[in-house]
A and B are shown apart, each in its own frame.
Chain A
Amino acid sequence: MTERSGSESGPAHKTLEISIALLIGVFGLVVIFGSLKAGINWGAEGPRAGFFPFYVGAVIVGASAINLWHAQRGDDGRLFAEWGQLRQVMSVVVPTGIYVGSMPFVGLYVASMVFIAWFMRWLGGYRWLTVVAVAVGMPVVTYLVFERWFLVPLPKGPLEDWLGL
């Protein structure tokens, strides 16, 4: 599941470095904007709600500006990651996104079964027997430990309703 691609190309580390600095800087601006809306001066009760976050936002913007300056200065030609590696990462991020997004509708158990099965079959290349054993076993163990033993409720969907759990 983890062969490296032979090609040595990928996004430059510098690009990512700059993007992250910009992203954090923009976040800082959002914080400043939100603080201004909440009020940054003194009210009857002392410093108002936006007082502290305003300075926090200002420091974020300042620090990001310096990080941005550092980032764009030198280019050591380093890669952030190879495309093949990023594909590996995305092959986890995307299904996890679908898994997480489907959870409110089908419940945690069904989503987990499908997710584990998908992961093991397509990324791991396991036999169906192993896949089914783990994909069904894990949610069942989870149910027993969390819901029965520790009484922590987990999200359920139509299947659990139908089973009357």
Chain B
Amino acid sequence: MADKSSEPSSLVRFINGILPENPVLRLVLGICPTLAVTASMEGAITMGLAATFVLFCSNFFVSLLKRFLQPHLRILVFTIIIATFVTIVDMFLKAFMYDMSRTLGPYIPLIIVNCIIIARAEACASKSRLLPSLADALGMGLGFTLALCILASVREILADGTWLNIPVMWEGFTTWTIMKLAPGAFLAFGLVVGANNFIRRKLEERKS
């Protein structure tokens, strides 16, 4: 986490979260939901947006309350805030997106222990002013959603031949059931992180 002396501007914070410091592809945080819910695009988008909402609200309140946060109190306060908003998301999905809530099952309540959210509260929101904190939350949230979507695209297309439930492969395409299961999640995750690192290195080589 880059900020040391001078605080980066809101825009830099926002962009940082999306690719340069992408929470999944670069910081390798929040891997449990990344592996668990990326079997389909619909699940990935819902999880990404839910986590973004929680991250935004948590950064908002942590940044507002940072003056009062004693070192020994902060984790307790983070937990109260995060748990509250995760429960709100869970109730919302159960009431308005019942089928999706059943598909994601325990992974919505498990956003509480998503490392990205507590990491941003600790590394950014508890030290930064409100606006940069919010920009950071949006950037990191979008970065998380983007990473989930890339992974889910690979897995859904190979496992079902569909993307967002729309058939995209040719007729007679043999579906790879393994991509729907845990091994497929690890395989796809490794390949996507590898591809991201490869592209980064090529870009850096070109720059120097």
Do the two chains belong together in a single complex?
A: no
